[in-house]
Amino acid sequence: MEPSAGSIAECVIGDGDKAITVGGEKTLPFHVFEGDMGNAPRIAFEVLDSAPEEWPEPLVKHYSDVFNDPAAWAQKCVKEFNAKAICLSLVSTDPNGANVSSADAAKVAQKVVEAVDVPIILWGCGNADKDTETLREVTGLVGTRKVALGPLTDANYRTLGATAMAFQYPVVASTPIDVNLAKQLNILLENLGVSLDHILMDPSIGAVGYGLEYTYSVMERIRLAALTQNDDKLSVPFIVNLGREVWKAKETKQPSDGMIGDQERRGVLMEAVTASSLLFAGGELMIMRHPKAVSMTEALIEGLM
């Protein structure tokens, strides 16, 4: 392999001494023997803005006491599990689900943002129009706190990109597992005026057993183009929203049995293995759910840096 020529941009999320910086690599993931790995990858705990209905028992047992209070949930992640960042999923706003109004969802988001001082990623429901509405509403309430907004897609990058620029927020650029489309969205955002050091790329991922290899290969190609071809439009850190993918797999929901083992251990391993695999593909900011899976992944990162 030729030595790396490029480097990954650094992206800062959050405020003050709790702010985190991801990216900055000048070499392939964990090739610390070859070059500067920049900042260590980070993990954000995912918090939902409404009580989840279909979470499996191994998650429920850790969070059910705070299910109905997202602010308390975020605080619990920080205090009990030492979360360095929080990703608030605004799932309640989904027009195909509870369809909570943007104004109401924004108030909940505001409470979460005010409850903790770690960096916050505000992740919409995935409906481009509703996310535009909700995330713009939130920015009016959280003001100067440097939250990250996502997901921005080709359908709403203009409005949300403009909003993020006005507040100097970093954004999550989401594309459906495709190198060309990932590059194109970064170009479009840059043309709009969002600088590359304010973008986190979400390549869309699959959990282990559910398309992990495909995701890995796309991320690997993006990272190789960034480092060996010096492709600055792809030289952006990855944000990897993996917890939700792992914990919707049926293997995390099947009860313990002699054949496939203990349910909690199984789910934790699936999450930790998905996370560690995608760290090797270049993941920088991982969004996860189970505290044990997080601590295992953090131990791995620490051991390899």
Partner 1 sequence: MYVQCIAESINIMGTRTGNAMRQRDPGPIVEMAHEEVADGGDFLDLNIGPARKDGTDLMPWIVKVTEAVTDCPLSMDTTNADALIAGMQAAKNPERHLMNSISLQPERMKKLIPVAAEAGCYVVALLWGVDGMPRDSNERAAMTVELCMAMNEAGIPNEKILVDPIATPITLGSDQVMSGLEFMAMLPEIVPGAKSTVGLSNVSNGVSTEKRHYLNRAYLAMLMKYGIWSAIVDTYDHELIELAHGERPELVKIVHDIMDDNDPDPDSLSPKELEYYKTTRVLMGKTVFSESWLEL
Residues at the contact surface with partner 1, assessed by CB under 8 A:
179-181, 183-184, 187-188, 191, 221-222, 225, 229, 231, 233-234
Shortest separation between residue 237's beta carbon and partner 1, angstroms: 17
- Smallest distance from the beta carbon of 155 to partner 1, in angstroms? 15
Burial 149-177 (b: 16+ CB within 10 A, else e): bbbbbeebbebbbebbbeeebbbbbbbeb
Element (H, E) at 283: strand 283-288
Provide the b/e sequence for 111-141 (b: ≥16 CB within 10 Å).
bbbebbebbbbbbbbbbbebbbbbbbbbbee
Element (H or E) spanning 191, and its range?
A: helix 179-192
Nearer Cβ to partner 1 (234/293): 234
Q: How far is the CB of 4 from partner 1 (least distance, A)?
A: 16
Residue 75 or 186: the one with the smaller Cβ distance to partner 1 is 186
User: Which CB atom, from 26 or from 233, has the smaller least distance to partner 1?
Assistant: 233
Measured in whole angstroms, the distance separating CA 174 from the mean position of its chain's CA atoms is 10
Q: What minimum distance in Å lies between the beta carbon of 136 and partner 1? A: 26
In angstroms, rounded to a whole number, what is the distance separating the alpha carbons of residues 196 and 187? 9
Strand ranges for 16-167 from DSSP E: 20-23, 42-48, 86-89, 120-123, 148-152
Nearer to partner 1, 160 or 226 (CB): 226
Strands 20-23 and 10-13, how do they pair? Answer: antiparallel
What is the C-alpha to C-alpha distance for residues 271 and 17, in angstroms, rounded to an integer? 29
In the complex, minimum distance from the CB of residue 220 to partner 1, in angstroms, rounded to a whole number:
13
Residue 158 vs 233, nearer CB to partner 1: 233
The least CB distance from residue 187 to partner 1, in Å, is 5
Tokens of 281: 């593909």
Question: Are 7 and 231 spatial neighbours (Cβ–Cβ below 8 Å)?
Answer: no
